[in-house]
Amino acid sequence: QVKRLHAYKRQLLNVLHIIKLYWDIKDNPNADFTPRVFIFGAKAAPGYHFAKSVIKVINELANLINNDPAIGDKLKMVFLENYRVSLAELIIPAANVSEQISLASKEASGTSNMKFMMTGAVTLATLDGANIEIKQEVGDDNIVIFGMDKDAVYRHYESHDYYSRGIYESNPVIHRVVNSLVDGTIPNCQSEGNEIFDALITYNDEYFLLEDFQSYVDAQARIAQLYADRSRWMHMSLMNIANSDKFSSDDTIRQYAQEIWQLHLPQA
């Protein structure tokens, strides 16, 4: 997941899932588990304190997981410092999974999702931004979709019925994961953990992470299952590459010319 660090892009949802995997392995180290390396690259705006707190938690969680002998090579976490084009040139072609998990209705488009698609990564996504177009191009079988769509999000806005504390108090998995931010499980980030806890529980989880959590967990399990089937995974990867031609500057310029500038262009 490499992109600007912002609450609506929900790097924190990724973090919550990783915490769950950490506890799964600790509870049952002999269970069958598809080894995973989670890679983050992000910068926060200079005055965006919450985003910087998330970066701090990512790094401290990585220190915990990467140095726990009970976890071993089953789970690793990497935060790329100073994420920029030169790092993108390395990590995007190397990635197997493209995490595009913003809250539906918040992402204008996105471009990293297109770059990942072009280099063969399988997209794990909400129906937001260009993820919708990627799904249209590759088909339902070659992308993994989870979470609320924009209509479900808007219904929450209209009815004012979302209550994150209720989810937190009634779901023991979510309760344990969220508590890990503040109970000392993750070292050296007490103030940051409390800030994030308050955002999720006290201030009612503005970006509906807890609402989408189980759907995201299920989608990640689906990713692990698909990856274990090498033939199926390679097929999905190739289908993404083969159908990525829509996302070109030529297509964008033609669409602008026809729909915005009202120009009549000769057919190619």
pLDDT one digit per residue (tens) for the chain, 268 residues: 999 999 999 999 999 999 999 999 999 999 999 999 999 999 999 999 999 999 999 999 999 999 999 999 999 999 999 999 999 999 999 999 999 999 999 999 888 999 999 999 999 999 999 999 999 999 999 999 999 999 999 999 999 999 999 999 999 999 999 999 999 999 999 999 999 999 999 999 999 999 999 999 999 999 999 999 999 999 999 999 999 998 988 888 888 898 999 988 776 5
**Domain boundary assignment for the chain:** 7-259
Residue at 174: amino acid letter = I
160/153 Cα distance (integer angstroms): 11
In Å, what is the CA distance from 155 to each residue of 105, 151, 160?
Answer: 12, 6, 8
Q: What is the pLDDT of residue 41?
A: 97
Count the alpha carbons within 13 Å of 72 in the hemisphere toward its beta carbon: 10
Task: Return the pLDDT at 268.
Answer: 59
**CATH assignment, 7-259:** 3.40.50.2000
Q: How far is CA 40 from the centre of its chain?
A: 10
Q: From residue 122, give the alpha-carbon distance in Å to each of 142, 178, 194.
A: 7, 28, 34
Report how far residue 180's alpha carbon sits from residue 84's, in angstroms, rounded to the nearest whole number: 31
Which amino acid would we find at residue 58? I
* Residue with the two structure tokens 């990585």: 62
Residue 189's pLDDT is 96
Instruction: Evaluate whether 100 touches 144 at the Cβ level (below 8 Å).
Output: no
End-to-end CA, the chain:
36
pLDDT at 186: 98
Please answer whether residues 124 and 97 qualify as being in contact, where contact means their C-beta atoms are separated by less than 8 angstroms.
yes
Structure tokens at 116: 């990942």
Q: Are 14 and 38 in contact (CB under 8 A)?
A: yes
**pLDDT at residue 253 in the model:** 87
Q: What is the pLDDT of residue 170?
A: 98
- Write down the pLDDT at residue 140: 97
> Which residues touch 53 (CB under 8 Å, ≥6 apart)?
189, 191, 192, 195, 196
Which of helix, strand or coil describes residue 144? Answer: strand
Helical residues (DSSP H) of 9-163, grouped into ranges: 11-27, 49-66, 85-94, 112-118, 131-138, 150-159
Calculate the alpha carbon distances from 65 to 19, 20, 193, 251, 264 in Å. Answer: 9, 12, 17, 43, 57
